[in-house]
C-alpha cells in the first residue's frame, strides 16, 4: 500500500528521489498540473521537456519555474494535439533534438468543449485527449525505447465513470452531442490506451499508467458555462458528500507518483488515484476504475481504431 494519499503533494511524493540524468516529456506543461509536474521533476534534477501549443505561454512557465529553481533543466517544444500534421512535425524535431525519454506524461487535455472538430475531423475531446496523445506517443516511441525508466503516464479522470468508449460513433455523427458523455468516453480511452500500451510493450520494460488527479480548479474547465459548472458540482457532491477540491500540487502528485514509485516497478496497465492503484469497481461513485475501462478486448479494439484513424503504426 502506498505511503501517500489524497492530500499528498508533488514534493512529498518525490522527496529523496534523484532524477538527475532522467529526461521527462510533459504535454500541457505551460500551466496547471503540467507546469507543476514539470517544476517538481526539475527540482529533483530531471531534464524536463515542456510541450504545449503556445511558445509564449511555455516561456512564461519556464520563467516561473526558474524563479524558484534557477538551475532547472528545461526545454520547450510546441505541439498542437488537434493536428496530426503538427504532431508529426513536432515529434520529428523532438527525435532530432533529444536522445531519449525516460518518462512521458500525457497531461494535456480539454473538458466539456462545445461540439467542435480537430483539424483531422475528430470530435474535439476524444481527438485531443486520446487520438492526439496516441499519435504523439507512437511518434516518440524510438526515444521511449532508449529511455531507462520507460514509464508512460496518461492523465484520465474519474469522469471516465460517465461513459464507456462508443466504438460505433466516437465522433457523434449519429447521435446528439453531449459534452459530458464525450469527456467521459475520452477519459475511458485514456485508461484503455494505458492497458493497451502495457499489454504490448511490458516485454520491453515499458509500462503505462492511467491517472485520476482529483478535483482541481484549473483552466481545464474554461469551456464550461456557469450552468454546466453548477450542474457538475451538484452531481459530484450528491455522489460524494465529502468532496473537496485539491490544490494543484496535490492534483499533480499522483502523476509524479505513477512516474517514479518503486512499488510500481515491473507492473502497469493500471488506474491510479490519490497515489495508489485504484480497485476495479462498477458501483462506487467516489473512487475506483470501471471494468469497461480496463477490459483488454476493448483496449485492443481502441488500439486498432486509433491506428487506422491516425495512421500511426507502433513497433510490432
Q: Distance between CA 238 and CA 40 in Å, rounded? A: 34
Query: How high is the pLDDT of residue 219?
Result: 55
Residue 44: which residues within 8 A CB-CB, separation 6 or more? Answer: 14, 17, 18, 19, 20
Instruction: CATH number of the domain at 46, please.
Output: 3.40.50.720
Give the domain extent around 235.
10-307
pLDDT band at 215 (very low <50, low <70, confident <90, very high): confident
Report if residue 191 sits inside a domain: yes
Are the C-beta atoms of residues 136 and 87 closer than 8 Å to each other? yes
Instruction: Give me the helix-helix angle, 253-260 and 32-43, nearest 10°.
Output: 50
Comparing 24-38, 50-64, 187-201, 241-255, which segment has the lowest mean pLDDT? 241-255
Q: Quick count: other Cβ atoms within 10 Å of Cβ 75?
A: 16
Q: Distance between CA 44 and CA 18 in Å, rounded? A: 6
Find, among 63, 17, 60, the residue nearest to 40 by Cα. 17
Q: Distance between CA 141 and CA 100 in Å, rounded? A: 9
| pTM score, whole prediction | 0.94
Taking the C-alpha atoms of 196, 197, 198 and 204 in order, what is their torsion angle to the nearest 10 degrees? 140
pLDDT digits (tens, 9 = 90+) for 157-212: 999 999 999 999 999 999 999 999 999 999 999 999 999 999 999 999 999 999 99
Using the 8-state DSSP alphabet, how is residue 84 labeled? H
**How many domains is the chain built from?**
1
* Helix (H/G/I), strand (E/B), else coil: 212: strand
Report if residue 316 sits inside a domain: no
Report if residue 225 sits inside a domain: yes
Which residues carry out catalysis?
A: 183
Report if residue 1 sits inside a domain: no
Residue with grid cell 507518483, as numbered in its chain: 257
Q: Is the pLDDT of residue 220 over 80?
A: no
Report if residue 2 sits inside a domain: no
Q: Distance between CA 311 and CA 169 in Å, rounded? A: 19
Report if residue 5 sits inside a domain: no
Report if residue 313 sits inside a domain: no
Amino acid at each position: 500500500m502506498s505511503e501517500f494519499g489524497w492530500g499528498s503533494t508533488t514534493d512529498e511524493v518525490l522527496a529523496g528521489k534523484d532524477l538527475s540524468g532522467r529526461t521527462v516529456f510533459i504535454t500541457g506543461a505551460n500551466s496547471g498540473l503540467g507546469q507543476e509536474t514539470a517544476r517538481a521533476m526539475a527540482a529533483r534534477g530531471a531534464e524536463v521537456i515542456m510541450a504545449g501549443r503556445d511558445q509564449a505561454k511555455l516561456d512564461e512557465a519556464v520563467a516561473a519555474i526558474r524563479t524558484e529553481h534557477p538551475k532547472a533543466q528545461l526545454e520547450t517544444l510546441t505541439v498542437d494535439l488537434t493536428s496530426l500534421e503538427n504532431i508529426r512535425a513536432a515529434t520529428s524535431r523532438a527525435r532530432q533534438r533529444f536522445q531519449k525519454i525516460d518518462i512521458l506524461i500525457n497531461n494535456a487535455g480539454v473538458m466539456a468543449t462545445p461540439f467542435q472538430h480537430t483539424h483531422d475531423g475528430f470530435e474535439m475531446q476524444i481527438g485531443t485527449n486520446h487520438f492526439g496523445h496516441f499519435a504523439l506517443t507512437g511518434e516518440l516511441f524510438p526515444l521511449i525505447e532508449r529511455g531507462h525508466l520507460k514509464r508512460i503516464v496518461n492523465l484520465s479522470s474519474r469522469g471516465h465513470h460517465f461513459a464507456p468508449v462508443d466504438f460505433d460513433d466516437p465522433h457523434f455523427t449519429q447521435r446528439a452531442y453531449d459534452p459530458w458523455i464525450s469527456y467521459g468516453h475520452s477519459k475511458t480511452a485514456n485508461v484503455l490506451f494505458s492497458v493497451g500500451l502495457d499489454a504490448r510493450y511490458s516485454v520491453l520494460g515499458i509500462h503505462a499508467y492511467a491517472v485520476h488527479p482529483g478535483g482541481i480548479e484549473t483552466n481545464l474547465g474554461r469551456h464550461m458555462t456557469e450552468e454546466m459548472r453548477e450542474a457538475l458540482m451538484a452531481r459530484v457532491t450528491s455522489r460524494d458528500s465529502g468532496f473537496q477540491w485539491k490544490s494543484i500540487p496535490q492534483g499533480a502528485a499522483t502523476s509524479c507518483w505513477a512516474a517514479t514509485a518503486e512499488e510500481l516497478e515491473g507492473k502497469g496497465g493500471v488506474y491510479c488515484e490519490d497515489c495508489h492503484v485504484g480497485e476495479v469497481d462498477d458501483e462506487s461513485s467516489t473512487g475506483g476504475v470501471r471494468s469497461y475501462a480496463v477490459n483488454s478486448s476493448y483496449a485492443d479494439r481502441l488500439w486498432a481504431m486509433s491506428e487506422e484513424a491516425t495512421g500511426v503504426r507502433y513497433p510490432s
